[in-house]
Amino acid sequence: MLKRRQFIGALTALGGSVVLSACGGGGSEEASATTSSGAQKTSATAKTGSANGTAMPPATSLIDGAGATWTLSGGVAYRNGAKAGNNYNVVLALCFNGNIYVQNTSNQFYQWTGSTWQASSDPRLGTTSPDGTTMPSASSIIDKTGAVWTLTNGVISRNGAVVGNNYNVSLVLWYGGKIYCRNTSGQFYANAEVASQWLPCSDPRTPVAATTGSFFGINGHFDYTYTPSQVVSILKGLGCTSYRVGCSGDAAQLNAVVKLAQAFQSAGMTLLVLVNLGLRDSSGRLLAGESAAYNACYGSAFTIANTLKPYGVTFYECGNELTRDSAIIIDSTNAGTKALDFNNANWPIMRGAMRGMIDGVKAAQPGAKCGINFCVADVGASDALWDGTQPDGSGGYPKVRWDITTWHNYEVYGNIFNIGTDGAGPGIDLPTYCKARYGVPFFITEWNTGPEQTQTYRANYITSQLGSFYAARKTHNIQSVMYYVLDSGNNTYGIMTNGTALNPPYGAFSNFTSSHADT
């Protein structure tokens, strides 16, 4: 039995903000309070906070919601006479809802969290703009980080600074947690995680419905003790029409998948075959470079597709979580939203392997559809591969172009429709971004909660996730969602064990599919 790889560890998290009480209203300069416990009595005094919106200058000092006194001297903000963290070039300090904000000479605002400064917007402008806000007609857009975007004479600025190379902009759009724009020629662009980059895309608001008939799916393994006809029968009972199974070019694995393909072809069901090739040779050593990786993967992929094509297999996923190989991801706790999260020296090996698998499949079966899969929020990787760039930003390299965008979305990774761009921070609607950027169908080829969860928790998670995925099938181009896994040999992931249903997860899955048509 192939074993499920370990989950990614704890993802990076933003430091929490300290919530201060609101700025004080009326009253004397100092107010006293007395408390008693038995014979003991204590007294304390607290300064009344500055009026909401008080700015310095013109004020000479501010009092925050905790009673601390703030002053400004030589472009540096002081709290109770001591420099507050790392700050300089401050031109304005502001008390708003009991919190202290500063503005520097670059027009960037920062909020004091109680121990450090974090980027924010001018709190007087309001909160994050509603999804779908456009300029025009809005005069500005505030994103989830608090940055203020403006459009002046066809040029986009963020916090007063022009964003990369942009001009002739006729529309700026805030949608799904991302900034998009359209130029006067009608071309849309998405603002990348590296804010100076604009990447070509389509209008993300355009709904794209999934193809009917293969939405509900599940994962399995080639070495199950179930016969192919039993697998087909089990899937029908679960309401699934698609099945994902992996194999390498090994004859034993491939022969097992051939038998599955024959059964699925007879049943009129969809088999997605994972071409389970990687970046290393049989000894576990990294392949020598891009050409070596391409050649090593091409031959095996050709063999797999050439063997399976008589049996109705048309979908192939080329590689499994290669962006999360320890030679590729620099820090496995990173969400992968920046190309710099990945190893620049080893990147060509992965690119070569992916290209080799796609080209090998297409050489044997030109009409086949090939996917490349990603994890967490790996848009830094997917964008770099799609555009033929390296993690260091250099370009002109071979482009990896796929027919299906496939993604793995375990609970620890976050909500795929609002997945954190740093693993925990402000999220984006990832399928919407992929729909706009790559213009191909989206498959979620693995999803589940963690192995430590109870069966009741897993059942509730199944119902919740299927509901979320199902609601998006008419707009996000999500054509299949494949639960991991049918049988894990225990109760960590599977919803069956040795032919016996694990309830309540099995019931939750089958109840949902029976009451929601795959149309």
| 40 and 175 belong to one structural domain | no
| pLDDT given at position 425 | 63
**Would residue 360 be called left, alpha or beta, if left means φ above 0 and alpha means ψ between -120 and 50 degrees?**
alpha
% pLDDT > 90, the chain:
81
Q: Residue 405 falls within a domain, yes or no?
A: yes
User: Considering the domain boundaries, does residue 17 fall inside one?
Assistant: no
Q: Report yes or no on 207 lying in a domain.
A: no
Cβ of 138: how many Cβ atoms within 10 Å?
16
Evaluate if pTM is beyond 0.85. Answer: no
Going from the C-alpha of 85 to that of each of 88, 113, 115, 193, 238, the distances in angstroms are: 10, 10, 7, 27, 57
Please compute Rg for the chain using Cα positions.
27
Q: What is the pLDDT of residue 196?
A: 83
pLDDT tens-place string over residues 399-425: 999 999 999 999 999 999 999 865 556
Q: Considering the domain boundaries, does residue 236 fall inside one? A: yes
Specify the DSSP element, H or E, that contains 95. Answer: strand 90-96
Which secondary structure element, helix H or strand E, spans residue 352, and what is its range?
Answer: helix 347-364
Whether 96 and 149 map to the same domain: the answer is no
What is the total residue count of the chain?
Answer: 519
Give the pLDDT confidence of 441-496 residue by residue, as tens digits. 999 999 999 999 999 999 999 999 999 999 999 999 999 999 999 999 999 999 99
- Going from the C-alpha of 198 to that of each of 131, 156, 190, 191, the distances in angstroms are 20, 11, 6, 5
- 349-362: pLDDT as tens digits: 999 999 999 999 99
Backbone φ/ψ region at 97: left (φ over 0), alpha (ψ -120 to 50), beta: left
Q: Are residues 86 and 61 in the same domain?
A: yes
State how many domains the chain has: 3
Q: Are 312 and 306 in contact (CB under 8 A)?
A: no
Q: What is the pLDDT along the chain (519 residues), one digit of tens a residue?
A: 333 434 333 333 323 332 222 232 222 233 233 333 333 333 345 578 999 999 999 999 999 999 999 999 999 999 999 999 999 999 999 999 999 999 998 778 889 999 999 877 788 877 899 999 999 999 999 998 888 999 999 999 998 999 999 999 999 999 999 999 999 999 999 999 776 899 999 999 999 998 899 999 999 999 999 999 999 999 999 999 999 999 999 999 999 999 999 999 999 999 999 999 999 999 999 999 999 999 999 999 999 999 999 999 999 999 999 999 999 999 998 899 999 999 999 999 999 999 999 999 999 999 999 999 999 999 999 999 999 999 999 999 999 999 999 999 999 999 999 998 655 567 899 999 999 999 999 999 999 999 999 999 999 999 999 999 999 999 999 999 999 999 999 999 999 999 999 999 999 999 999 999 998
Tokens of 394: 């250099």
Residues 347 and 279 in one domain: yes
Which pLDDT belongs to residue 46? 59
Q: What is the CATH number of the domain that holds 367?
A: 3.20.20.80
Select from 128, 131, 169 the least CA-distant residue to 152. Answer: 169
Helix axes 347-364, 290-308, angle to 10 degrees: 30
| Predicted pLDDT at 4 | 41
pLDDT at 2: 36
User: Domain containing 118: what range?
Assistant: 30-125
Last residue of a domain, one of 201, 229, 244: 201
Q: Which CATH number goes with the domain that contains 182? A: 2.40.10
Examine the domain organization and report whether 82 and 165 are in the same domain. Answer: no
> What gap in Å lies between CA 109 and CA 90, rounded to an integer?
9
Q: Percent of the chain scored above 70 by pLDDT?
A: 90
Report DSSP letters for 177-193, one per residue: TEEEEEETTS-EEEE-S
Closest CA to 338 of 402, 382, 372, 373: 382
Count other C-beta atoms under 10 Å from residue 436's C-beta.
26
CA distance 472 to 431: 9
- Strand pairing report for 188-191 and 178-183: antiparallel
Q: Indicate the residue among 80, 96, 125 that finishes a domain.
A: 125
CA distance 284 to 274: 20
Pairwise CA distance, residues 32 & 470, whole Å:
58
Same-domain status, 43 and 70: yes
Count of helices and strands (H, E) across the chain:
8, 32
Residue 70, in any domain of the structure: yes
Beta strand 369-375 with 315-318: parallel, antiparallel or unpaired?
parallel
